Structure 1
Amino acid sequence: MGTMTFAATAATEEKSDPGPELLEQVARLADLDETLVERMRAEALGAPTRGEVAYGEYQSGGWWTASLMNHSPDGDPHDVVIGDGRPRPTTLLDRMPVTSAFLAGLGLDFMYVRLARLEPHSYLWEHRDYAELNERGRHRLHVPLVTNPSAVLVTAGARVHMAAGSLWRLTPSRAHGVRNATGPDRLHLIADVYTDDAYRELATHPHLRAGDAVRLPALTTADRSRLMERAGQLASLGFLASAEQVLLRAYYAYALPEGGAYDLITELHTNRGAHTEATRWTRAKQHLLARTPSSLAALAGRNAE
């Protein structure tokens, strides 16, 4: 790996003890050279396109992606639906020599690489990724380029701010969501990679620092009643989308069971007698949280213990 890619980690660095479940889902892998991050940030901010709004069913709006490595035969950066295979650089990556050298220096087996932008007041709803792909081992790496404290990942009952200056790993085959509450834009370099020796070496010491993660509170009976009352009032006034978003956003405030926000919306519509809408959200939950065969096997193993 290139000598400019990683920075030395201070021996006095304070690490947290987040618990095995959270650490399996999100972790820092390495610190990055500050100058390198600044140069990649400049390239990303200078990109001639914001990309495309894709995966609309997963988001509130405001999630833009542009491909740096994909499977487009003509290198089109606006082809942003990820898939398996050996990618090639897009015309956008050709304009970003520092980022291109960084990726090459990692020495990893890439599946897909993107720039991903989440605008202020935007959400990626709770979901899983990779369910439609085969069972080959794969991982998602994040390099935060522009971020802010309100831009958080929610997973395993915790809220995690993926701070700039580190290379992070996410396990996207497990339920997660993202929020950028106040802005500015959250801009990340995201690389999906296959498991190989280079990845195993990179991921030798996953960790979180003190302050990276905040445990979410449980949803009390009183909290639940207030949420349902507020959503019901909005629905009765005809503001159905707003009513649903009140309940969708509960995922970012409380440690809900998996799919709990979707269950609240289904209950809202059932109580209204809107059975078509209730069925739609039941199906949305099944689609957004679809499991791969391997994740189902892992869950069965944990439940048997």
Structure 2
Amino acid sequence: MAILEARRLTKKFGHITALDGVDLEVNEGEIYGFIGPNGAGKSTTIRILLGIIKADGGEANIFGKDVWQDAVDIHKRIAYVPGDVNLWPNLTGGEVIDLFVKLRGTKNKSRRDELIQKFDLDPSKKCHAYSKGNRQKVALVAAFSADADLYILDEPTSGLDPLMERVFQECVMDVKREGKSVLLSSHILSEVEKLCDKVGIIRKGKIIETGTLSELRHLTRTNLLVETKQPIKSLGELKGVYDITAQGQAVKFQVDTEELDSVIRYVSQFGVIRLESAPPTLEDLFMRYYEGEAHAERAGAGGAS
């Protein structure tokens, strides 16, 4: 069941189109990865979902309620972490966490204390003395201490070290196991790949692809490393083969998934000694779209000149 639905969202700032018909759907118990380059429209979408700004067109509902008209009711059931946290400078981290927890009516103090320990946070320090990473920790502890139904996380691990990123990932999986939903905006593709059930890629205000990772992977290329008894002739002429490089006695290249069977049949006639296959990653998919669109833009610019 969908608990977050956005349809045809549009938003302009002056002459700049920030969002151009964005569709999003997050189901109950699902982690949805929202990825794209800086300036793609991720934060604008999230600000609309939070009721901070109003969309120029389209509609968005959370828990079946309009995100603009019913923002107060919706916020009682969501937890939000921005990518750049601003805190009251003269309060301690612990006081800020307690304030947020109290506002939500959550009384699970043991959960709060457990999270402070997991994130290795000193709650007695004043917020003005915190680094960016520690400010993020305060926000994350406050969010995961809350008994929310939907967690909206906008670049939440910005400023965290790799160990704390792992703690964050554990917390996300914990709330998923409890049947909660997460909208995760991130530029860390490995993080999205580890955590997310479904992914939406946004570029220049448009969703260019959405689906589960298994659904998207048919669009990407498999990485192959092949060593043969005889040199492989005319490999670069085969359909669906890209980025051929020599690696010692072996050859490394990428193959479009739909051409994998015919390529394997072809190289096997040269006497395969070693064959290593790496599945396509989310980064492969993202970069393929990014490079493909950039190439199309250059071609268009060249044609216009």
Instruction: State the TM-score, normalizing by the size of structure 2.
Output: 0.27
Larger % of strand: which? 2
Structure 1 or 2, whichever has the larger Rg, is: 2
Instruction: State the TM-score, normalizing by the size of structure 1.
Output: 0.27
